[in-house]
Chains A and B, each alone.
Chain A
Amino acid sequence: MESTSSLPADLTDLTLVQARSGLEQGTFSPTELVQAHLDRLEKADALNAFITKTPDLALAQAERAEKRLRDRTHGPLEGIPLGIKDLFCTEGVETTAASRILKGFIPPYESTVTDKLFQAGAVMLGKTNLDEFAMGSSNKTSAAGPCLNPWRRAGDDEALVPGGSSGGSASAVSARLVLGATGTDTGGSIRQPAAFCGIVGLKPTYGRCSRWGIVAFASSLDQAGPMTRTVHDAAVMLRAMAGHDPRDSTSAPVEVPNYEAALTGDIRGLRVGLPREYRPDGLDPEMAALWDKGAQMLRDAGAEVVEVSLPHTRYALATYYIVAPAEASSNLARYDGVRYGLRVEGASLDEMYCKTRAAGFGSEVRRRILIGTYALSAGYYDAYYLKAQRVRARIADDFRQAFRDVDVLLTPTTPTAAFGLNETIDDPITMYLNDVFTVPTSLAGLPGLSIPVGLSSKGLPIGLQLIGRHFDEETVLNAGLVLERAAAFTHRPAFLTDTGEA
C-alpha cells in the first residue's frame, strides 16, 4: 500500500504516507510538495477553508525540511503540508478561534500539539476555518464566514456545509489542499465533519493529546486529533501529536505507542459491538444499511459482531448540552476586552464588558454562554450541572460494561449526510442532533474514529464510527484500516472535478 511506483501525477493526490516515502526517497522535494499544495490553495478560495494562509512560513519550513532530509535528521512528518485548525495558538501567527473577539490576536507561544508537529517536521499552510470557538456542527457560526464542503449532491449545485466545528480542516483535507489537518473534538467536531467530507477523523482518548495552547471550549471534553484521507495517515499524525505534557494537568502520563505498527489488518477474533440504542426508530434507512454493511465487512475479516446495549445513550445529548456550555461559560470569561483581543470602550468597566462581548461573540456562542451560566446558577446547579455530571458517569459506565464484552463498537458517525448551507435550521436542537452519535464517546472520554465507508443515494459520503477503550487507539485504528480496505472508498468530491483535478 506504500507503493510509490505509480505516483499520481498531482502531488496533492498523494496520501500523507505516500508523500512521506516520496520525500524520503527524494522523488520530489518538500518545496515541490508544498508549492503544489499552495497552488491548489490559491484556487480554492471558494471553499473558504482557511482563515489565515501562511505561504511564506510554509516555504521557509519546506526549506528547513529539505536540509533536514538531506542531513538525514528529519522527523516523521518532515516536509508534510498540514492545515492547523484556527483554535490552536500558533506563535507569531494570528489565532482567532473564528471569533471577532480574538481578531488580531497573535499568540507569543506555540500550542503543544502544533509544536510537536513542527518538531516532527510538519509544514503549516495556514489556519483552517471552524465554528466560532468550536461551537457548531456546520462551520456556519464562523466570524470568517462559512466554509464549504467540497462535495455536492449528484446533479445538484447547492452548496453544502462541511460540518463542524473542524469544517475548514475537513474541507481542506477533502479538497486536497493539505495532506492532513489538526482538528479538535468536543462533542463530535472532528468526526462529524470528517464524515461529511468523506475523510478520516480521529478523536483520541481524552488526555492523549495536550490541550495546552488550544483555545478552550469545554475543558473536560476538548481533545485534539488528526484529520486525514487514510487511516494510516491518521496513525502517523496522531503519533506526532500525542504525549504527556506537564503543562496540562489532564494530559495522561502514558506512553505513546507506535500506531503504525498496530496496523496489521488482522482483526480475526476481534469482538465488535453494535449498540442497539444507536438504531432509533427514525434512523435513515440508508444510514442503517451502510452500518449493516460495515458490520458485515468486519465480520468478513474474521471479527465477531454482537449487539450490545448502552442504555443511557438517550440522555447523552442533554447531558452534553449542560456540561459543555457550563464549562464554556467560564472558559470564555477571559475574553473581556481588558488584556487582548477586541475592546469596545464604555463609560464603566461593566459597560465595556457588555459592549465588548456583545460585539465580539456571535449568537451561537452567546447562546451557549447563557445556557452554561444558567446551568451553573445558584438554585439550578443541582438540577442541571450536578445531575448532568451524574448522568455522565452512568454513560461512561455503559461503555465500561460494553467493553467487558467487546473490543470496539461500530456506529454511524452522524444521523445524516452533509446538509445544505442554506437549509434553514431555525431550531438549535435540530442542529445539536448532528452530534447524537458522537457525544456519548466524548462524555466518556473514549477514542472515536470516523471512516468514509460509502455514498448516500444522493452521492454524499457517509461515515461510520469505531469507538475503543481508553487509550486503545491501536485497536480502533486497526479495525478502521480493515473497514477502509473493505469499503475501498475512492470517490472524489465534486470540487476536484470543478477545478479540473478529476
Chain B
Amino acid sequence: MTYRIQGETGSWEVVIGLEVHAQVISASKLFSGASTTFGAEPNTQVSLVDAALPGMLPVINGVCVEQAVRTGLALRAKINHRSIFARKNYFYADLPQGYQISQYEQPIVGEGKLVLDMPDGSSRTVGIERLHLEQDAGKSMHDQHPTRSLIDLNRAGVALMEIVSRPDMREPEEAGAYLRKLRSILRYIGTCDGNMEEGSMRCDVNVSVRPEGETELRTRCEVKNVNSVRFVMQAIEAEASRQVQVWESGAEVKQETRLFDPSKGETRSMRSKEHAHDYRYFPDPDLLPLEFDEDFVDRVRQSLPELPDDKKERFITDYGLTPYDASVLVVDRESADYFEAVAQGRDGKTAANWVINNLFGALAKAGHSVADSPVSAAALGKLLDLMASDVINGRIAKDVFDVMIGTGGDPEAIVEERGLRQVTDTGAIEAAIDAVIAANPGKADEVRGGKEKLLGWFVGQVMKATGGKANPGLVNDILKSRLLGG
C-alpha cells in the first residue's frame, strides 16, 4: 500500500515538497497598472514600470493583496498583518529591473494546511509552509529568429502567489492529489484559474529519498517548472529512482536544480549549487512594509464562499454520500452546485449516482464541462422525478437521458413524444404475459415444476413484448401469480 522504491540495498521512502506558482486573478499587475489579459500581442501590456525605465517606481495593487489573503484564509493559514517585499537580484533578459520583487523573510501568509482527498476515499493533511506574493518575469522566445532571442514583457510584473508545502508527501499520487486540491480551492475562491497548460499555475517539485526507517532528510533536488499534474507525478518517480541509484552506487546526491523531460521520462541537471545564483535578497527600499488590520482580513473572510472541505462534509451529512462521491462532486463549484440543484428535495445518493456516473461520463465523452452541460440540473432532476413516480423505469430513464444529452430536450416531453411512459395498466401487462406463456408452454411448465430461475427469462420476454415500458415490478408479480399460483 505504502509507496516505496525497491532498490538493491532495500526499500526507499520518497519525500516530496511542492512549490506552486499561481498567477493571481487581477485586472492589472502587482506593481503597475498594465493589463494582465492572457494572449495579447507581445509587448502591448507593458507599462513604464514593467519595462523598468529609469526612475520608475512600484506601487502595490490592493486587489492582489486581497487575493493573497483570500487564498491564505482558504488554506487555513496564518495571515501576517505586516509583511515585507524584498528584491531577488539576478540578471536575465526577460527580467527588466534586474531583480524580481518578491517576499523573503516576512511573507504575507504563514503556515497553513491542505487536506488531500485520495482516490480510495481517504484523506491526508499536508502542511503549507508559506504563501508569498511576487512578480512574474517576462517571456524569452529563442525560436523566433535564427540568431536573436525575442522578449515579450506582457507577463513581466504579473502577480504570482508562491505557495510552498512542507515536505509532507511520500508518494507521487499524493503530489497529484495536492495539486488537484490546491487548484480546486484556488478556483473556488477565484484567486487563480489553475490553468497549468497556459502556465497560470506552475510547479517546482522538491524530491529526496531515504532508506525506509531513516528519520533525517537527505539532500533534495528541485525539479523546475513541471507543467501538468501527470508530469509532476512522472517527474517524482523518475527523480526518486535516479536518486536511489545514486545513493546505492555509493555516491551522494548533490543539491541542484533539474528539469524534467517528459518525452524521455527523466530529469536532467540544470545548474548545480556551485553555479547557483546568489540572489542578494534585501528589503525593497521603494516599498513600505505591507500592513493591514484584522478588519481587512475579516472583510475578506466574509467574502469567502463555502470551501470544498466544508462542502464535502456537508454533502456526506446532508445527502448521505460516501466520502469518495462527495469529494468527486466538490472538486469544482459548478459540479457541486449542479449536484445540489439535482439533489434538492430528492434522494441524494441517486442524484450523486446520476451526476457522477451518467452525467460526468457523458460530458467527458462529448467534451463538455458542467458549465455548458446540455442537460440542465433542473432537467436531470425532472428525469429523476419521473423515475421516482414510476412514470418510467431506470432503463428507460437512461435512454431518455441519452436523448437529453444529444438534443437538450425536456425529459417529460421526450417520454411523451416517444411513448416511453411506463405501462402500469395491469390488463395490458396481463395480456402480454398470457401471450408469452401461451407461446412458450414448455418453459412455463418448467417454472411450474420448480425451476424458478426461468422466471427472469419470462420477465425479459414480457419487457421485450412491451417495448421495455412495462413496470418491471408489476410484471414480476403477475408472472409469479400466473405460473406459481402465488
Taking Cβ atoms with an 8 Å cutoff, the residues of A that contact B are 88-89, 95, 97, 102, 105, 107-109, 111, 211-216, 218-220, 246-250, 326-327, 329-330, 332-334, 336, 338-340, 349-350, 353, 373, 376-378, 381, 385
The verdict on A336 contacting B98 (CB below 8 Å), with A216-B54, A327-B285, A349-B93 known, is yes
Interface string of B50-71 (1 = CB under 8 A from A): 0111111111100000000000
Candidates A247, A248, A327, A330; contact of B98 at CB < 8 Å:
A330
Select one of B48, B57, B96, B99 contacting A330, CB under 8 A.
Answer: B99
Given known pairs A105-B54, A338-B151, the reply for A333 and B285 (CB within 8 Å) is no
Q: Nearest 3 A-B pairs (CB), nearest first?
A: A333-B98, A376-B280, A219-B285
Contact of A373 among B48, B87, B280 (CB under 8 A): B280
B58 partner residues in chain A, CB cutoff 8 A: 249
Interface of B is mostly: loop
CB neighbours (8 Å) of B89 from chain A are: 329-330, 333, 376
B149, B280, B281, B286 interface centre (most CB from chain A within 10 Å): B280
Taking a contact as CB atoms closer than 8 A, the residue among A107, A250, A326, A330 that contacts B53 in the complex is A107
Name the residue of chain B whose CB is nearest to the CB of A212.
B57
The answer to whether residues A211 and B53 also contact, given A219-B285, A250-B286, A376-B89 and a CB cut-off of 8 A, is: no
Q: How far is the CA of A75 from the CA of B286 in the complex (A)?
A: 31
Whether A376 contacts B282 in the complex (CB less than 8 A), given A211-B57, A333-B91, comes out as yes
> Which residues of B sit under 8 angstroms from A220, Cβ to Cβ?
285
Contact of B59 among A109, A218, A249 (CB under 8 A): A249
Q: CA–CA, A333 to B98, complex, Å?
A: 5
B278 and A247 contact, CB distance less than 8 A: no
Assess whether B97 is interfacial by the CB under 8 Å rule: yes
- Bound-state Cα–Cα, A378 to B91, Å: 17
Verify if B288 is at the interface (C-beta below 8 Å from A). Answer: yes
Residues of B within 8 A of A88 (CB): 55
Q: Is A334 in contact with B151, judged by CB distance below 8 angstroms?
A: no
Q: Is the CB of B55 within 8 A of A213?
A: yes
CB neighbours (8 Å) of B27 from chain A are none
What residues on B are CB-neighbors of A247 within 8 Å?
Answer: 57, 59
The CA of A211 and the CA of B58, in the complex, are separated in Å by: 11
B residues less than 8 Å from A385 (CB atoms): 282
Residue of A with least CB distance to B51: A339
Cβ B54 vs Cβ A97 within 8 A: yes
Is B287 positioned at the interface, with any CB of A under 8 Å from its CB?
Answer: yes
Asked whether A326 lies within 8 Å of B55 as measured between CB atoms, the reply is no
Q: A339 to B93: give the CA distance in the assembly, Å.
A: 9
Per-position binary interface string of chain B over residues 34-56, scored 1 when its CB falls under 8 Å from any chain A CB and 0 otherwise: 00000000000000100111111
Min CB distance, B60 to chain A, in Å?
A: 7
Q: Can you report 26 residue pairs joining A to B where beta carbons are below 8 Å apart? A: A89-B55, A97-B54, A213-B56, A215-B55, A216-B54, A216-B55, A216-B286, A247-B59, A248-B57, A249-B57, A249-B60, A327-B285, A329-B89, A330-B98, A333-B98, A333-B99, A334-B54, A334-B96, A334-B98, A338-B151, A339-B52, A339-B53, A349-B93, A373-B280, A376-B281, A381-B282
Interface code B239-279, partner A: CB below 8 Å = 1, 0 otherwise? 00000000000000000000000000000000000000010
Chain B residues within an 8 Å CB radius of A327: 285
CB <8 Å contact, A107 and B54: yes
CB distance from B264 to the nearest CB of A (A): 27
- Contact assessment for A246 and B54 in the assembled complex, using a CB-CB cutoff below 8 Å: no
Q: Chain A residues with Cβ under 8 A from B59's Cβ?
A: 246-249
Q: How many Å lie between the Cα of A333 and that of B52 in the bound state?
A: 10
Chain B contacts for A330, CB-based, 8 A: 87, 89, 98-99, 280, 282
- Chain A's closest residue to B54 (CB) is A215
**Cα–Cα, bound, A417→B428 (Å):** 121
* Chain B nearest CB, measured from A250 CB (Å): 7
Chain A residues, CB < 8 A from B53: 89, 107, 109, 339-340
Contacts of B48 in A (CB 8 A): 108-109
- Minimum Cβ distance to chain B for residue A120 (Å): 20
User: Given known contacts A247-B59, A333-B97, is B282 in contact with A326 (CB within 8 Å)?
Assistant: yes
Return the chain A residue nearest B48 by Cβ.
A109
What is the count of residue pairs linking A and B with beta-carbon distances less than 8 angstroms?
98
Q: How far is the CB of B34 from chain A (nearest CB, A)?
A: 14
Cα A95 to Cα B53 in complex, Å, equals: 12
Minimal Cβ-Cβ distance residue in B for A379: B278
CA distance A378 to B54 in the complex (A): 27
* Contact residues in A for B285 (Cβ distance below 8 Å): 218-220, 250, 327
Which residues of A have CB within 8 Å of B280?
A: 329-330, 373, 376-378, 381
Interface residues on B, range: 20 to 34
Q: Smallest Cβ distance from B292 to chain A, in angstroms?
A: 15
Chain B, residues 68-104, CB within 8 Å of chain A (1/0): the string is 0000000000000000000101011100111100000
Q: Contacts A214-B55, A333-B89, A376-B89 given; indicate if A249 touches B98 (C-beta within 8 A).
A: no
Instruction: Annotate B207-218 by CB proximity to A: 1 below 8 A, 0 otherwise.
Output: 000000000000
> A339 and B96: CB pair below 8 A?
yes
**Supplied contacts A215-B55, A249-B59, A326-B282, 8 more A-B pairs, CB within 8 Å:** A249-B57, A250-B288, A334-B96, A336-B93, A339-B96, A349-B92, A376-B281, A385-B282
CA distance A216 to B52 in the complex (A): 11
Chain B residues with CB below 8 A from A373, complex form: 280
Task: For residue A374, give the distance in angstroms from its CB to the closest CB of chain B.
Answer: 10
User: Which residues does chain A contribute within 8 Å of B98, judged by CB atoms?
Assistant: 330, 332-334, 336
Interchain CB contact under 8 A, B282 and A378: no
User: Are A249 and B54 in touch, CB under 8 angstroms?
Assistant: no
A211 (CB) vs chain B CBs: closest residue: B57
- B280-316 CB contacts (< 8 Å) to partner A: 280-282, 285-288
Q: Which of B120-155 contact A (CB under 8 A)?
A: 149, 151
Q: State in angstroms the CA–CA spacing of A350 and B92 once bound together.
A: 9
- How far is B54's CA from A332's CA once the two chains are assembled, in angstroms? 9
Taking CB atoms, residues of chain A closer than 8 Å to B55 are 88-89, 107, 111, 211-216
Which of A211, A249, A329 contacts B287, CB < 8 Å?
Answer: A249
Per-position binary interface string of chain B over residues 320-350, scored 1 when its CB falls under 8 Å from any chain A CB and 0 otherwise: 0000000000000000000000000000000
**B residues within 8 A CB of A213?**
55-56
Q: Which partner residue on chain B sits nearest A251 by CB separation?
A: B57
Min CB distance, A410 to chain B, in Å? Answer: 30
> Are B93 and A338 interface neighbours, CB within 8 A?
yes
Q: A107-B53, A330-B98, A338-B96 are in contact. Are A249 and B91 (CB under 8 A)?
A: no
| A97 contact set on B, CB distance < 8 A | 54
Give the interface centre of B55, B93, B281 by most chain A CB atoms within 10 Å: B55
From B55, which residue of chain A is reached at the shortest CB distance?
A213
Docked pose: A211 CA to B151 CA in angstroms: 28
Bound-complex Cα distance A329 to B97 (A): 12
CB proximity of A372 to chain B, nearest CB, Å: 9
Q: Are A378 and B278 in contact (CB under 8 A)?
A: yes
Minimum CB–CB distance from A94 to chain B (whole Å) comes to 12
Question: Which residue of chain B has its CB nearest to the CB of A327?
Answer: B285
Q: Which residue of B lies closest to A133 (CB)?
A: B54
How far apart are B318's CB and chain A's nearest CB, in angstroms? 48
Residues on A with beta carbons closer than 8 Å to the beta carbon of B92: 349
Q: Are B288 and A334 in contact (CB under 8 A)?
A: no
Q: Which residue of A lies closest to B92 (CB)?
A: A349
- A353 vs B91: C-alpha distance when bound (angstroms): 9
Query: In the complex, what's the smallest C-beta–C-beta distance from A330 to chain B, in angstroms?
Result: 5
Compute how far the CA of A48 lies from the CA of B24 in the bound complex, rounded to whole angstroms: 51
Cα distance A108–B59 when bound, in Å? 20
- B3-47: CB near A (< 8 Å → 1, else 0) gives 000000000000000000000000000000000000000000000
Most chain A CB inside 10 Å of its own CB: which residue of B58, B92, B286: B286
Shortest beta-carbon distance from B241 to chain A in Å: 32
